Structure 1
Amino acid sequence: MRIRRFFCDDTACDRRTFAEQVPGVTTPYARRTSLLRGLLEKIALALGGRPGARMARLLAVEVSRTTLLRLVRALPVPEAGTLPVLGVDDFAFRKGNTYGSIIVDMHTGRPVDLLPDRHADTFADWLRARPGAQVICRDRANGYAEGARLGAPDAIQVADRFHLLHNLTQAVDRVVRAHRACLKDRPEAEAVAQPRPSTDGEQGRRVEVTRQRHAEIHALHTTGVGTTAISKALNLDGKTVRRYIRAATADELLTETAPRARGLDEHTSYLAERWEQGCTNATRLTAELRERGYRGSARTVRRLLQSWRDGTIKPTAMTAVAPKPREVTGWIIRPAAERTDRERADLARILGRCDSLRTVDRLVSDFAGMLRQRQGQHLDTWITQARSSGVAQLAGFAAGLVKDYDAVRNGLTLPYSSGAVEGNVCRLKAIKRQMYGRANFDLLRRRVILAE
């Protein structure tokens, strides 16, 4: 390539010499051609600093990681413009401490902007600067609901169906754990639901304190007081305050649960079989259990065998292993067609001996069908049935639906969902981890928005 170099004969001119530029190839004061710069920009957007420098070296281009990051920061971010249908969700800069927000164009599935926090005012200001939003897909966080109401009052808010099903799963899991005693096959006389805590003595005082604390926390929460302020005012841990806020009624916090499953439970049927065969030596049986994968202590085995010798527990009563509450929750949440024959049989036995779980299974089936077939017109009927079911956890879930009624009904009726937003959040997390958390907000924003 041959270019011309020009000299200025005017002694008063500050420019003594300048070179001819080739459009599309060179630019003034540049050390690289436009083509090479564009290539490095794409490498930096896709890989970041150090990985990008290693890739460029394989392409016979020597460049440092800081140069690549500088190229990314120099790129202009396109203006989002008007978005008729958008989705918003949060992501963690540092989990449990600081969060940001990602905004996605639901027509293209591409992220259009990142916000430095997840406050309602920030999201509302962003919407006011870009009027024209018609549909806003969001999770059930109060911040985004309030921000959408303030920034785009005419827009339709749609609650994400995944989060609705996730919230329902959490409620079902609490019910199953509260009735853990009903999961194990036992004689019919023993298969009873766990009783509510007694109101006598120490238990009675605990019940009274729990109800009083639940009322105080909810009274402060409904007036707009934050979790941190409630924790300081009542001298409680933040996790305790959030647990009380999630519980719609105090009864959800008063349910006694059975002890957690032990590592020996899955081997009790084998121990009972060996006991019936005449092998009662704890040391020998522990060695046999080690070969079967038992990792507990020999002392636990001796305690169980001693209870059999004393007649406290019959070996035949220990042969059945109860399924884990998480497994039963999965059976209830999944559609009946996706359950195996064994899961159907086990679930049928459990539901046959527990009225509460049978009610939960019926209501979950109705809600899941309404969600998958988008039949939001049945939401009022379902909420009424959940409130009158006698299951405190489902009544609390129904109360949460009422607080966000319009968005929930839209989510169960309209075809919009936040799937594209969740996918972009996963992509953002991958980019953030790729840079080991050292990316500042401006660099992360450009990589998320501009990367192909």
Structure 2
Amino acid sequence: MTTASKKPAGTGRDVTSELAFLIHDKGVGTTRISQILGMDPKTVRRYARAATADGLIVPPRSQHSPLRRFQSYLNERWNKGCTDRTRLYEEIRALGYKGTDRTVRRWLEPLRSSAAPAPKVSDVPSTRKVTGWITRHPDNLTSDEALRLKHLLAHCPELAAAVERVRDFAVMMTNREGHRLPEWIAATEVTELAPLRGFASNLRKDLAAVTAGLTLEWNSGPVEGHINRIKMLKRQMFGRAKLHLLRLRILLNTSRR
């Protein structure tokens, strides 16, 4: 085998990943492979676990870029003949863009080097964004968010059914209407949404506790606070002392309160 100091010249990422996969498939450990190929062990593990080349592709960061919601506008203006970066930057700033001119320049660079028209940017909201729209109180949604959610629900009956169940449960939590829990479980168990059916069925296993949690004003917050405090004291010791010292620190810390 070739040592790390004699790594084959001209080896691209695809060839290197194939080598890592083949060697790992023979039972060689990742540490030894990293020494053979002169690679970081984390990279070797990523190459070895990737079933295809697509598994090595890093998702684009532009999904969370401040430019994200203005990309469609920029492409549309570009296709209409406006290729002045400064002018486009000023236009989207007037629309609420908070990013830098440099980000706009980077977005426009591929368009300048291509003769084809700028592609249409998909305006489909992410799963995380839709989840936020569903779980937030309707009064806290902007008019644009409420309109987009309404459009989604009109085209997806399953999602509309999920929203109805989720919001009804939220009303129970907010108004402490635990007496309605059996009714909510019965209505949810007959829906066509398997995850919600499973959630509702599991609530029956500890119905009294869940009902109390949805009815009474008390909660487990103070208990969780004490647990977090004990964990903090334990981490401060860095494993250099045993249980008897941790016990003394907890008692001493409590007596000072």
Q: TM-score, normalised by structure 2?
A: 0.55
CA distance in 1, matches of 2:248, 2:142: 47
1:144-200 residue CA offsets vs partner (Å, 9 max, x unmatched): xxxxxxxxxxxxxxxxxxxxxxxxxxxxxxxxxxxxxxxxxxxxxxxxxxxxxxxxx
Name the structure 1 match of 2:218. Answer: 416
1:102-124 residue CA offsets vs partner (Å, 9 max, x unmatched): xxxxxxxxxxxxxxxxxxxxxxx
Q: Aligned in 2, Cα 1:279/1:359: closer, same or farther, shift over 3 Å?
A: same
Name the structure 1 match of 2:101. Answer: 291
1:328 to 106, 130, 136: 130
2:196 to 394, 397, 419: 394
1:277 to 80, 99, 111: 80
Q: Cα distance, 1:278 vs. partner?
A: 2.8
Task: Give runs of aligned pairs for residues 257-276 of structure 1, distance below 5 A.
Answer: 263=62, 266=69, 268-276=71-79
Q: Is the 8 A contact 2:79 2:117 kept in 1?
A: no
Q: Is the 8 A contact 2:134 2:163 kept in 1?
A: yes
Name the structure 1 match of 2:49. Answer: none
2:168 to 366, 390, 403: 366
**CA RMSD, Structure 1 to Structure 2 (Å):** 3.7
Q: Is the 8 A contact 2:165 2:188 kept in 1?
A: yes
Q: Is the 8 A contact 1:367 1:382 kept in 2?
A: yes
Q: Is the 8 A contact 2:173 2:214 kept in 1?
A: yes
User: Identical aligned pairs, as a percentage?
Assistant: 40
Name the structure 1 match of 2:180. Answer: 378
Q: Cα distance, 1:326 vs. partner?
A: 1.9
CA distance in 2, matches of 1:416, 1:268: 48
Q: In the alignment, residue 263 of structure 1 is paired with which amino acid?
A: S
Q: Cα distance, 1:443 vs. partner?
A: 2.3
Q: In the alignment, residue 219 of structure 2 is paired with which amino acid?
A: S
Name the structure 1 match of 2:16. Answer: none
Q: In the alignment, residue 208 of structure 2 is paired with which amino acid?
A: D
Name the structure 1 match of 2:42. Answer: none
Q: Aligned in 2, Cα 1:261/1:353: closer, same or farther, shift over 3 Å?
A: farther
CA distance in 2, matches of 1:292, 1:347: 33
Q: In the alignment, residue 75 of structure 2 is paired with which amino acid?
A: A
Q: Is the 8 A contact 1:333 1:365 kept in 2?
A: yes
Equivalenced residues, count: 180
CA distance in 2, matches of 1:335, 1:273: 34
CA distance in 2, matches of 1:337, 1:366: 15
1:13-54 residue CA offsets vs partner (Å, 9 max, x unmatched): xxxxxxxxxxxxxxxxxxxxxxxxxxxxxxxxxxxxxxxxxx
Structure that is richer in strand per residue: 1
CA distance in 2, matches of 1:408, 1:295: 54
Q: Cα distance, 1:307 vs. partner?
A: 7.5
Q: Cα distance, 1:290 vs. partner?
A: 8.1
CA distance in 2, matches of 1:306, 1:375: 62
Name the structure 2 match of 1:405. Answer: 207
Q: Is the 8 A contact 1:333 1:364 kept in 2?
A: yes
CA distance in 1, matches of 2:138, 2:100: 37
Q: In the alignment, residue 123 of structure 2 is paired with which amino acid?
A: V
Q: Aligned in 2, Cα 1:445/1:372: closer, same or farther, shift over 3 Å?
A: farther
Q: Is the 8 A contact 1:371 1:412 kept in 2?
A: yes
Larger Rg: 1
Helix, strand or coil for the counterpart of 1:404?
Answer: helix
CA distance in 2, matches of 1:386, 1:343: 26
1:450 to 244, 252, 255: 252
Q: TM-score, normalised by structure 1?
A: 0.34
Q: Aligned in 2, Cα 1:269/1:414: closer, same or farther, shift over 3 Å?
A: same
Q: Cα distance, 1:384 vs. partner?
A: 1.9
1:360-384 residue CA offsets vs partner (Å, 9 max, x unmatched): 1111111111122221221122112
CA distance in 1, matches of 2:226, 2:107: 47
CA distance in 1, matches of 2:105, 2:218: 49
Structure that is richer in helix per residue: 2
Unmatched tracts of structure 1, length 5 or more: 1-259
Helix, strand or coil for the counterpart of 1:263?
Answer: helix
Q: Cα distance, 1:387 vs. partner?
A: 1.8
CA distance in 2, matches of 1:400, 1:306: 57
Q: Is the 8 A contact 2:133 2:145 kept in 1?
A: yes
CA distance in 1, matches of 2:219, 2:208: 15
1:337 to 125, 135, 139: 139
CA distance in 2, matches of 1:406, 1:356: 30
CA distance in 2, matches of 1:377, 1:337: 25
Q: Aligned in 2, Cα 1:269/1:384: closer, same or farther, shift over 3 Å?
A: same
Name the structure 2 match of 1:350. Answer: 152
Q: Is the 8 A contact 1:432 1:439 kept in 2?
A: no
